[in-house]
Chain A
Amino acid sequence: AQTVTQSQPEMSVQEAETVTLSCTYDTSESDYYLFWYKQPPSRQMILVIRQEAYKQQNATENRFSVNFQKAAKSFSLKISDSQLGDAAMYFCAYLSGHTGTASKLTFGTGTRLQVTL
Chain B
Amino acid sequence: DSGVTQTPKHLITATGQRVTLRCSPRSGDLSVYWYQQSLDQGLQFLIQYYNGEERAKGNILERFSAQQFPDLHSELNLSSLELGDSALYFCASSKDSDKNIQYFGAGTRLSVL
Q: Which of A70-78, A80-88, A104-112 contacts B (4 or more CB under 8 A)?
A: A104-112
Select which of A45, A47, A50, A106 is within 8 A of B90 by beta carbon: A45
Say whether A95 faces chain B, with CB atoms less than 8 Å apart.
yes
Shortest Cβ distance from B50 into A: residue: A103
Q: A43-B88, A45-B90 are in contact. Are A103 and B98 (CB under 8 A)?
A: yes
Q: How large is the interface on B (under 10, 10 to 19, 20 to 34, 35 or more residues)?
A: 20 to 34
Per DSSP, chain B at the interface is strand
Say whether B63 faces chain A, with CB atoms less than 8 Å apart.
no
Contact with B along A26-53 (1 / 0, CB 8 A): 0000000101010000111111001000
Q: A103-B31, A103-B33, A104-B58 are in contact. Are A91 and B43 (CB under 8 A)?
A: yes
Say whether A99 faces chain B, with CB atoms less than 8 Å apart.
yes
Check B42–A110 contact: CB distance below 8 A: yes
Check A99–B101 contact: CB distance below 8 A: no
A69 CB, min distance to chain B CBs, angstroms: 21
Check B55–A45 contact: CB distance below 8 A: no
Check A105–B106 contact: CB distance below 8 A: no
B92 CB, min distance to chain A CBs, angstroms: 8
What are 27 A-B contacts with C-beta separation under 8 Å? A33-B99, A35-B101, A43-B106, A44-B2, A44-B104, A45-B90, A45-B92, A45-B104, A46-B2, A91-B43, A96-B99, A97-B99, A102-B45, A102-B48, A102-B57, A102-B58, A103-B31, A103-B33, A103-B56, A103-B94, A103-B97, A103-B98, A103-B99, A104-B45, A104-B56, A105-B43, A105-B102
B contact set with A: CB distance below 8 Å: 2, 31, 33, 35, 42-45, 48, 55-58, 88, 90, 92, 94, 97-99, 101-104, 106-107, 109
